[in-house]
Chain A
């Protein structure tokens, strides 16, 4: 049987709806199976609480979760913005000057290889229990993807494009602002997105080492008190925080570079 174009259009619209609904259905199914398994197999709540209990805990302890989220979000965002503020200008300097590149890149490479998490205890010794060591870990861990992707992006411009700009009499500043920087944006954003998901990891690791507030601290406390359901609640809060930052960056990407293939293909298929 052949289908008319109208029928095909209808099928496509249905498929688009399905694409939107399926992930939600999948998640619901996963939670349902979890709930049922825990109940049927009678698993102790301190080992694996059912999702319903986690939800109850999140609702009951919402003010506490929110307050600690605020602390961690502050550390995460401060570290993340610091990383952007330093990594992007540094990437510009590296790509602008060959000698600066030769000078600084080995140092950056060295620090990139150091497991950043191993530095957290050191920061505790240096800077104490306050906000600063957490911010620093978040900063360090999100710094490298941002600087590396931005530098790759700034170098990705084709030699013909530069020749074209020079034949128009473009100044160095014009070549940078009108050609090089816009070309680098898609790469920069992929670094910013990776950095966003890492920044939350950095803040939590910082809190693990020594803190008296924040979601990482709460995670340790609930762990030692065997409040496993609340612990899951904290994990949900952390995930939500990372996701929100990620989607904010992605939203900015959609606005700033709607012309890029990654953004366009995402729109066409209605996926992330």
Chain B
């Protein structure tokens, strides 16, 4: 098998607070293969967002090693698309200009990327909204714009930090289907951070289950379900997977089902 696209080895992150040292993650090791969809699921405060930010090179790690395509991550990675919990759109730019922000900052050609931006917006059902301002959109629409912004420069890696966290239940389902659709079409390496067990199992090829603070890898599970996975046609195996993850959380004291 080829070298994994992303490698984490014994990664540790300590935060210095005013009067103590907080261990956010400890001894985290896993790989993400090229074109693989990997989800990290864990309770709040298990350091899953920290892991994403370390992979993106936005915060330094205190021990261990992270490599992307064989290169050590020691600075902000620009060859990625990041989607945050909040859509973080610029209020003063319209939808199209928000997607093209990537292009402007990277000094790429607007002419070349504008048709691509329009295609992406169309893919997520936002055709006709190109010239709306963010305040005219619903929360779900804003998040779709931020997904398009994350994909416009065609990065090989898509990082998603609880992208459904601030959305209502129906919008969450729709956007997770949108993401599956986009991923199947483009086959980018994808990392999804979530605290939702069903969402992780629904979207991922493999799920990394984390323990509470300090975050460690409890188990890495292969999700062997055919795609496209549909919410209205979930096989029994789906419940076996989610049930197994719940039992891990139960064992570590995060979840009490009785």
> A residues engaging B (CB < 8 A)?
158, 160-161, 163-170, 174, 178-179, 182, 257, 259-261, 264
B102 close to A (CB within 8 Å): yes
In the complex, the answer to whether B86 meets A160 with C-beta atoms within 8 Å is yes
In the complex, the answer to whether B88 meets A161 with C-beta atoms within 8 Å is yes
Tell whether A163 pairs with B84 under 8 Å between CB atoms, given A169-B78, A259-B91.
Answer: yes
In the complex, the answer to whether B56 meets A167 with C-beta atoms within 8 Å is yes
Chain A hits for B104, CB < 8 A:
178
In the complex, the answer to whether A160 meets B105 with C-beta atoms within 8 Å is no
In the complex, the answer to whether B105 meets A170 with C-beta atoms within 8 Å is yes
> B residues engaging A (CB < 8 A)?
53, 56, 58, 76-78, 80, 82, 84-86, 88, 90-92, 101-102, 104-106, 133-135
| B107 CB, min distance to chain A CBs, angstroms | 9
Q: How far is A179 from B77 in the complex, measured between Cα atoms in Å?
A: 19
Tell whether A163 pairs with B56 under 8 Å between CB atoms, given A158-B88, A168-B105, A259-B91.
Answer: yes
Q: Is the interface of A mostly helix, strand, loop or mixed?
A: helix
Partner of B135, one of A161, A178, A179, A259: A259
Q: How far is A82 from B82 in the complex, measured between Cα atoms in Å?
A: 42
In the complex, the answer to whether A164 meets B78 with C-beta atoms within 8 Å is no
| B106 CB, min distance to chain A CBs, angstroms | 6
Chain A hits for B85, CB < 8 A:
160
Chain A hits for B58, CB < 8 A:
163, 166-167
In the complex, the answer to whether B92 meets A165 with C-beta atoms within 8 Å is no
Partner of B86, one of A158, A168, A257, A260: A158
| A186 CB, min distance to chain B CBs, angstroms | 9
Q: How far is A178 from B106 in the complex, measured between Cα atoms in Å?
A: 12
Q: How far is A178 from B97 in the complex, measured between Cα atoms in Å?
A: 12
Q: How far is A158 from B82 in the complex, measured between Cα atoms in Å?
A: 15
> Can you name 15 extra interface pairs (CB under 8 A) apart from A161-B88, A168-B105, A259-B92?
A160-B88, A163-B53, A163-B56, A163-B82, A163-B84, A164-B82, A164-B88, A167-B82, A168-B78, A168-B101, A174-B105, A178-B101, A259-B91, A259-B133, A259-B134
Could you name 14 residue pairs across A and B whose Cβ atoms are closer than 8 Å? A163-B56, A163-B82, A163-B84, A166-B58, A166-B76, A167-B77, A167-B78, A167-B82, A168-B78, A168-B101, A168-B106, A169-B106, A182-B92, A264-B135
